[in-house]
Each structure stands twice: as C-alpha cells, then as structure tokens.
Structure 1
Amino acid sequence: MAKTTKPLTNTEVKQAKVKDKDYTLLDGEGLQLRVKTSGTKSWLFNYYHPITKKRKNLSLGQYPALTLAEARKQRASSKELLVNNIDPKEHRDDLLSDKKLKMSFTLESIALDWFEVKKSKIAETTSRSLWRNFENHLFPSIGHRPIDKILAPEVIKTLKPLASKGSLETLHKVIGHLNEIMKHAVNTGRIHHNPLAGIRTAFKTPKVTHMVTIRPEELPELMKAISYSNITLVTRCLLEFQLHTMVRSSEAANASWDEIDFENMSWEIPAERMKMKVKHTVPITKQVLDLLEHVKQLTGDRKYIFPADKQPNKPSGSERANKALQRIGFKGRLVAHGMRSLASTTLNEKGFDSDVIEAALAHQEKNEVRRAYNRSDYLERRRKLMYWWSEFIEQAQHGNFSTSNKGLKEVG
C-alpha cells in the first residue's frame, strides 16, 4: 500500500523551527516546504520530467510571501502542464525570457532601430531635427516604456504640451514619425498592430504655410540688393550660385571643388548630400562658370567652395544664405529655399515642361519607370532650361530685364 502524505496545516508551516540541518516538510503530490538553517522557508514542487523522467525541483517562492494556499495553486498549475507533457520549469523560464525580451523593446530602442534605416533615406539636417524632436518631446516621458504597452491615451497626454504651445507643425511631424516606428515594430514582429494610427485626429491640423518667396518681376530688386550689399564676396557668390543652380541651401553650402567638372560643365552632388539620397547632376551654365572662376581666386585652395568664415576648413552652414537675405532687406519676403520656388514659378509660367523643371529641382518622381527615364533623358533638356534661367537672372542683374523676356529663347 502506498504511503499517504498528510497535508500540512497553516500552523505547521508557520511554526516550523530552524534545525541544525536543512529539512523538508511534505504537503503531498510533490509540494514541499524546505526549511533552511538560515531560517528561510521555501516552497518546492518535486516532479518527474515528462520526457526524460528525471526528478526535478521547481522553486515556487518563499514563505510567508507565498502562502500555503497559493503554493498549492501553483502545484495544481504545474501538474496541468505535466499532463500535457510540458516541463513546468522550462515553461516558466520561457515566459520569463519572453517577458524580459518584451521589456527590452522600449519605444526608444525600437525608434533607434527604425532610425538607422530612416536616416539613410533623408538629409542629415532633417535626420538631426527628427531625432531632436524625439529627445525633446517623447523620450523623457515614454522612451523607457515597452512598445507593446504604449497606447493612444498615454501618447496624446505626452504630446499635449507641444500642442498647447501652438507647435502644431512639429507635433504632426512627431506623430507621423511615431507611426512609422509603430509600423516598423509591427513589421519586425515586436507588436501585432499599431494602436496609434488615429492619434492625429486628437489635435488641431496645422495651417499650411508656404515658403516665403518673391515674384519673378521682383528679381531685379533682389539682384541689385545682392550687388550693392555689404555682405562678404563669398556670401554674395553663394547666394548667386544657389539662385542659378536651383539647389537646396545645404547642397550649395556644402559644395566642394572636387564635385565640379569644369571640362564638361557639370556639378555632381553625391547621393549622401541629397535630400532623397539620389545623386544629382547640375548642368553648369556660362554664368555659373564665371562665378566659380571668380570665387576660386578666394577659396580655390580650400576643400569647400564656400567655406565658413571662422573655420575655413569647414563648409558654410545651411543658414548662411538665409541670414544674408535678411541683412540685405528681404526678411519676411524671401528665404534661401524660396529661391527654388522663384525659379519654379518663373519656369512654369514661361511654359517649360513641368517634368523637366521637377528633375532640375531634384524632386523625386514617385513612379519608378518615369524616374529612371527622367534621369537618363532629361539631362540635355535640363541643360537648356538652366541656360535659359541663367540668362533670365543675368538680364535682371544688368538692368535689361523685361517680364516679356524678348530675346530669350524659350525651350521645353
């Protein structure tokens, strides 16, 4: 006859005294109370592994934090697992490992994982601004939170101070990038769905503000202001260079001499310096060539065409052109990026092919087939367009300007 184990009572457990050696009290069905010489009382579940049939002990917890009744519940749960050939210790370890893994998937860690890919597709200045917004407005409050625990109400509460300040454009950028992170988490198996998809509706929509620029008929005023201003010659050349080439401020400010092909009259901007991370070729007109020859006398021994004043081994900052425009009287009327808008407006109004204009501005064509065609076929057409634009600027500069542009050959 099998020996029957008498179940323990709460009093027996409570009054179990320390002895010279560790000893065990049995409750039956594998549940034991281990009493150590240190006075610690621990619950153990003794069982046979369902596959190997070897004896194993599963530590359940210490008394009195884990009561007799709770220890018996854990024993029952363990026995259910054994019936299904699941080792309770391995099962618990797997759950704990999974929990630790999920805890390591914080918003900040997933954001960093996403950002490593994202920053390769955008301009460096844009990526710095993006990450700075996260550091200022998200990470201090919820960066440490496991991504599978983050829900819409918590994020809305976190972003409300930004909305209260009226920084709606920044707010909506943060929301857009945050949703990209959540989609990345879904796609990489960290979460099952994006709970933040609709949080944009919890805030006001920012008003669309267009980049301030001037009309084509105001170009002579701009050229006169540049010519008669007290800005440095290098800064003046930078403004005119950016105006003629129709590039972005950062692309012009970071231009280096080794990117210029004087023989073939072209400027190759490497992909890593372009907003869309695609190499861009800018045809150089006679006017731009003359400008470069002029500035070469000042900075030809430097790496950069437009070096910084105080650190000539570094390029000018992208804000140099903006500050110069303010100093020459165009504050609130024109920003450096607005010179691209000025070129676009002028060329569109004169009937140039919009696809050629977009290619000249290095705007990315969404259709891949058309994009490949544009890159291969539009270079010569862009060269003609750039020639026309430089002639237009030169007329404005020398006082022969007319909105009818007689004498300028229009090409498409």
Structure 2
Amino acid sequence: MPLTDASIRNAKPAEKPLKLTDGAGLYLEVTPAGGKHWRYRFRLAGKENLFAIGTYPQITLADARKARDEARELVKQGINPARHRQQQKAGVLKEAENTFAANAEAWFEEKNAPWSDGHRNTVRRILDADILPRIGKTPIRELSAPTLLQVMKKVHARGAVTRAILARQIMGQVFDYAILHGCAENNPTTPLKRQIARRTVEHHKHLEERDIGDFLRKLEDYSGHVTTRTALQLLMMTAVRPGEMCGAAWAEFDLDAATWTIPAARMKMRRVHIVPLARQAVALLRDLEQVTGDGAYLFPTQGTKSQTIPPATLRNAVRKLGYADKFSPHGARGTFSTLMNARGYNADWIEKQLAHDDSDTVRRSYNHTQHLGDRAKMMQDYADLLDEKRQGAQVIQLRKVAA
C-alpha cells in the first residue's frame, strides 16, 4: 500500500530499523534513533543495489517519488544512480570554480544525515547567515587564516561567543572535507583555535516560586506569535530542554494516550525519552494542532515548514516579558525540580522526568523503568500547581494529623 504524508509523520521508531514500502523499489527506513531515510532498491547487472535519496522531512514524499522515477530511468540505461550523482557533484564543483560554498554544500549534504534536527538546523543557520555571505564565493584555495578570523570576529562582535566558535569548527570541517577530495591543500582554521575564549558556564536561572504566577500571567497575555507562547507554556509543563521543545515533531506525540516520545537522536543522552502530558498540556497541543498540524513540526519558523524555531526565540520572548534577569527557558527544569522536590515527590520520578543520566552505572543498568504512571500523576499535579499560581491562589501546606 503506497505511503501517505500522515503515515510517514506517524511512523514511530522501534528496536530494529523499520522499512515502510511505497512502491517500485522506494521505501522509507525508520531507524531506532528516529531518523527517516528514503531508499531506492534496484538491480543492475544482476546485482541488487541501494540508492540513498535523502532524509525526511527535508525530502518530502513527492520529492522522493520524483527522485525514484529519475533513478529508474538511469537504471534502464544501465547507469548506477549513485555513481551518476557523484559525477554530477564533481561537475558542480568544477563549474563553481571550487569555491568555499561549493565545498560547504557538498560537505553538508554528505555529513548531515546522522545529525539531530537541532544540530542540523544550527549548522545550516550559521552557514547561511555568518559564513557563506562573507566567504562563500571565494575559491577555497585562496582563503587564509586572517580572513577566516574576521568571519569569527564579526560573529563575536554581536556577543555570540559560542556561535563564533561553532563557525570556526564548521569552517574547519569544510576544509578537512576539501582536502580529502583534492580541493584544498591545508586547513587555515588550525591556528584559530583558542583565539576566542569560551564563556564561563553559568547556571541557568530558574523562576523563584514567588515569581511563577506573575510570569505565567504575563505569558498568557504575550502579544507575540502564538507558537512562541505555546512553546514556553509547554516548556513549563513538561520540564524538557528548550532544544527538545523547539524541535518537536507531530509524529512524536500521541495525544489520545497523553504521551510525547522524543527519539534518541534528539536527546542529550541519546536515549528515547517518554514525557507524560498533563490535561492542560494536551489541551494546548490540540489548539496548536489547528495552527501547525498540517506540517511536520509544532514550531516551524515563520515562512517555512521545513525548519524549527531556535531556542533563542524563547529567550527573546522571556526578555520581552521582562524576566531576562530572573529566568532563562532552560531554567524551567530547575523550577520544576525545586517545586516537586520541596513537595516530597519521589526523586527518581523527578530525575526520570528530567531525563538525567544516573551516575551509578550498576544501578542504571538495572533501572529500566520509566515510572510512567507515577510521573503522569506527578506532572498532572505540577500542571495543577502552575494553574493555581497563575490564578493567584493561596496554596496552603497542610500538616499531617496523627491518627
């Protein structure tokens, strides 16, 4: 049975790779980590071969079928589509006179498949905004360390220290790729290491209990985009990391079961994480579904459905709400942990909700339970507590009375 956009979005990872067949040799492989990759199976000279078309959702179902049809025509002519694509890439590099941009695009296309969505989007943004506009058209062999240092300094001048360092790392990887393919002789980014010092790591600011109600009321009246407001509201209710929230895909959610399954590829610890959803969170998601449910992602960037908002969008919203000095989006996790620990909830449930790694490797090897039922009750209690704070209710701690 041919695939549909809905069946692809709803396809969930399993312990082993899944193959979802579309027809005429085309299928979608869903990896245990949650990646979705288009493959075309064909026979040439009596041997079976595979042609990697690309990754969903970057390559849509319609695009994959078109690529399969083009590949089939090549096979009919006795041409291996993979080899044909390599020859085309070589031709493009030659036509583009071996510029930095040509090498960067070839590097990105070859290397990005196993990356998490968040990392892929970050690399793409830095390339498009900070690197290619300045050095993209320059022949790669003409670029020198001083020129590349100026690229880094332009980014650093905006106060984006980490981004400047990432720009150097990306440029370095492009040069390594070019050297391996005979398009460059040396890597001029090597002397640039440690030219820009990393910022001292600061703890993420979390909301004090006395500020929660005021923050949530201001957030409810937020005049910015509805997706930004919803992302922050859900962040408070789920205690996930901002990057995990911003990159959320509709295929990860089962609203009827009130669960959100984040694939390992998007998690810091590279393990699947199941997030139980309170009634209030499900209600927000059903409302959001009317706005962005026709695309792959919950929070796409405005004007496109193929990229998601960066965590910086949430930080900007917090600043507009007047809470930049008191709270960072990542601090929502600290707010949750502080409140629920203070109210005596089981520490294992809290740590599992935060997807923290257990430092005791022996204990971790035996502790496979997700505590889903207990965490679902805890997260509902937490959402109710946030509602009370938002409404300005006086929460009174009751003492236990001896029997």
SS of the residue aligned with 2:193? helix
C-alpha displacement at 1:284, in angstroms? Answer: 1.4
Structure 1 pair 356–211 and aligned structure 2 pair: CA distance change class (3 A)? same
Aligned position for 1:172: 165
Alpha-carbon separation, structure 2, partners of 1:348 and 1:188:
55
Aligned position for 1:390: 383
Over the residues paired in the alignment, what is the CA RMSD in angstroms? 5.5
Aligned position for 1:121: 115
Structure 1 pair 327–285 and aligned structure 2 pair: CA distance change class (3 A)? same
Alpha-carbon separation, structure 2, partners of 1:283 and 1:187:
47
Asked if 1:245 is matched to 2:241, the reply is: no
Asked if 1:139 is matched to 2:130, the reply is: no
Aligned position for 1:360: 353
Q: Does the CA contact (< 8 Å) of 1:269 and 1:281 recur in 2?
A: yes
Structure 1 pair 343–159 and aligned structure 2 pair: CA distance change class (3 A)? same
Aligned position for 2:27: none
Structure 1 pair 373–179 and aligned structure 2 pair: CA distance change class (3 A)? farther
Compute the TM-score of the two structures, normalised by the length of structure 2.
0.51
SS of the residue aligned with 2:237? helix
Q: Does the CA contact (< 8 Å) of 1:340 and 1:361 recur in 2?
A: yes
Structure 1 pair 138–150 and aligned structure 2 pair: CA distance change class (3 A)? closer
State the one-letter code of the partner of 2:115: K
State the one-letter code of the partner of 1:218: D
SS of the residue aligned with 2:234? helix
- Superposed counterparts of 1:39-50, under 5 Å: none
SS of the residue aligned with 2:257? coil
Structure 1 pair 372–265 and aligned structure 2 pair: CA distance change class (3 A)? farther
Alpha-carbon separation, structure 2, partners of 1:113 and 1:185:
9
Asked if 1:130 is matched to 2:116, the reply is: no
C-alpha displacement at 1:222, in angstroms? Answer: 1.8
Aligned position for 1:303: 294
Q: Does the CA contact (< 8 Å) of 1:213 and 1:338 recur in 2?
A: yes
SS of the residue aligned with 2:194? helix
**Could you report, residue by residue, the CA deviation over 1:116-166 in whole angstroms, capped at 9, with x for unpaired residues?**
3246413153233232232145435xx5223xx866455436545555665
Aligned position for 1:11: none
Q: Does the CA contact (< 8 Å) of 1:285 and 1:387 recur in 2?
A: yes
Q: Does the CA contact (< 8 Å) of 2:250 and 2:298 recur in 1?
A: no
Aligned position for 2:149: 156
C-alpha displacement at 1:326, in angstroms? Answer: 4.8
SS of the residue aligned with 2:240? coil
Gap regions ≥5 residues in structure 1: 1-99
Structure 1 pair 194–309 and aligned structure 2 pair: CA distance change class (3 A)? closer
Structure 1 pair 331–372 and aligned structure 2 pair: CA distance change class (3 A)? same
Alpha-carbon separation, structure 1, partners of 2:105 and 2:307:
28
1:377 is matched with which residue: 369, 377, 384?
369
Structure 1 pair 130–310 and aligned structure 2 pair: CA distance change class (3 A)? closer
Gap regions ≥5 residues in structure 2: 1-92
SS of the residue aligned with 1:397? helix
Structure 1 pair 265–160 and aligned structure 2 pair: CA distance change class (3 A)? closer
Q: Does the CA contact (< 8 Å) of 1:274 and 1:280 recur in 2?
A: yes
**Could you report, residue by residue, the CA deviation over 1:69-97 in whole angstroms, capped at 9, with x for unpaired residues?**
xxxxxxxxxxxxxxxxxxxxxxxxxxxxx
State the one-letter code of the partner of 2:336: A
Q: Does the CA contact (< 8 Å) of 1:266 and 1:283 recur in 2?
A: yes
Structure 1 pair 222–303 and aligned structure 2 pair: CA distance change class (3 A)? same
Aligned position for 1:199: 192
SS of the residue aligned with 1:201? coil
Alpha-carbon separation, structure 2, partners of 1:254 and 1:157:
31
Structure 1 pair 188–344 and aligned structure 2 pair: CA distance change class (3 A)? farther
SS of the residue aligned with 1:175? helix
Q: Does the CA contact (< 8 Å) of 1:138 and 1:159 recur in 2?
A: no
Structure 1 pair 395–161 and aligned structure 2 pair: CA distance change class (3 A)? closer
C-alpha displacement at 1:266, in angstroms? Answer: 0.8
Alpha-carbon separation, structure 1, partners of 2:283 and 2:398:
24
State the one-letter code of the partner of 2:136: F
Alpha-carbon separation, structure 2, partners of 1:165 and 1:229:
27
Structure 1 pair 330–201 and aligned structure 2 pair: CA distance change class (3 A)? closer
SS of the residue aligned with 2:260? strand
**Could you report, residue by residue, the CA deviation over 1:255-278 in whole angstroms, capped at 9, with x for unpaired residues?**
676654244321234667778887
Q: Does the CA contact (< 8 Å) of 1:257 and 1:303 recur in 2?
A: no
State the one-letter code of the partner of 1:134: I
Number of aligned positions between the proteins: 299
State the one-letter code of the partner of 2:125: S
Q: Does the CA contact (< 8 Å) of 2:204 and 2:328 recur in 1?
A: yes
C-alpha displacement at 1:407, in angstroms? Answer: 8.4
Alpha-carbon separation, structure 2, partners of 1:191 and 1:310:
38
C-alpha displacement at 1:280, in angstroms? Answer: 4.1
Aligned position for 1:266: 259
State the one-letter code of the partner of 1:265: A
Q: Does the CA contact (< 8 Å) of 2:100 and 2:140 recur in 1?
A: yes
